[in-house]
Amino acid sequence: MKRPLTAIALIFLAFAMAGCGFHPLYAVPGQAKGAMRQKMQAIYVEPVPDRLGYELRNHLIDMLDGTGRPAKAAYRLRLTLNSKNEAVAVQSQRVESENVTETAITRYNDTLTVEYELTDVQTGVVLTKGVETGLSAYNVLSSPYATLIAQQDADKRAADDIGDRIRIALAAYFAQSK
């Protein structure tokens, strides 16, 4: 008895989604199959300074399914990465033997801001641009090396998230520009 109700609900949902203008992002109506993929592959991601910029660029190249070479690129993606480090948790401890209060930072937040700009290679016209921001947080550990690794891991995850959002923004631009 539940199967007919489920089938009716799915049919109703399909009609409701069709009426609201919903369509898949990577299957743009009026464009050939695979057109979005070809546009995304035609983006050359320019090199970004520093280790974190390198990670962000490589992640974007992988997600765009690009080659990382400017030879046949129709578009250029320029990224500007800024990072801000902020102590957010401080712990104070009173040392009775010395009658002193010691204060130590126990947690940091790194705010990553990436400005991106997509340009047409032939005309040099800026097609779209935007800003994406990500936050990474990590604890200060007793080992300086472990703290550095925790910071690098948190920053890499934030950069990967920003890369995902940039890819979605570029796909949305291509889907709207037809």
DSSP H or E stretch at residue 37: helix 35-41
pLDDT-based confidence at residue 27 (cuts at 50, 70, 90): low
Task: Let me know if residue 58 belongs to a domain.
Answer: yes
Q: What pLDDT digit, counting tens, does each position of 127-139 carry?
A: 999 999 999 999 9
- Is residue 132 within 8 Å of residue 116, measured between CB atoms? yes
Beta-carbon contacts of 10 under 8 Å, excluding residues fewer than 6 positions away, are none
Task: Give the pLDDT score at 105.
Answer: 84
User: Is position 3 within any domain?
Assistant: no
CA 23 to chain centre: 23
Number of domains in the chain: 1
CA distance 98 to 63: 56
Residue 161 lies in a domain: yes
Asked whether residue 90 is domain-assigned, the answer is yes
Instruction: Name the band, by pLDDT with cuts 50, 70 and 90, for residue 16.
Output: low
Dist. CA 120–CA 123, nearest whole Å: 6
Give 68's DSSP letter. S
pLDDT digits (tens, 9 = 90+) for 33-62: 667 788 888 999 999 999 999 999 999 999
pLDDT at 24: 62
Residue 72, domain extent: 29-177
Lowest mean pLDDT among 27-31, 58-62, 168-172: 27-31
> What would the DSSP string read from start to end of 96-134?
TTTTEEEEEEEEEEEEEEEEEEEEETTT--EEEEEEEEE
Structure tokens at 2: 């539940």
Q: Is residue 16 part of a domain?
A: no
Q: Check residue 91 and give its pLDDT.
A: 80
- Output the six-digit token pair for 32: 């050939």
144-152's contacts with Cβ under 8 Å and 24+ in sequence apart are 151/108, 151/110, 152/51
CATH of the domain at 52: 3.30.160.150
- 74 falls within a domain: yes
- pLDDT tens track for 71-117: 788 899 999 999 998 988 888 777 777 777 777 888 999 999 999 99
Residue 158 lies in a domain: yes
Query: Does residue 123 form part of some domain?
Result: yes
pLDDT of residue 31: 61
Residue 68 in this model has a pLDDT that exceeds 90: no
Q: What is the pLDDT of residue 96?
A: 72
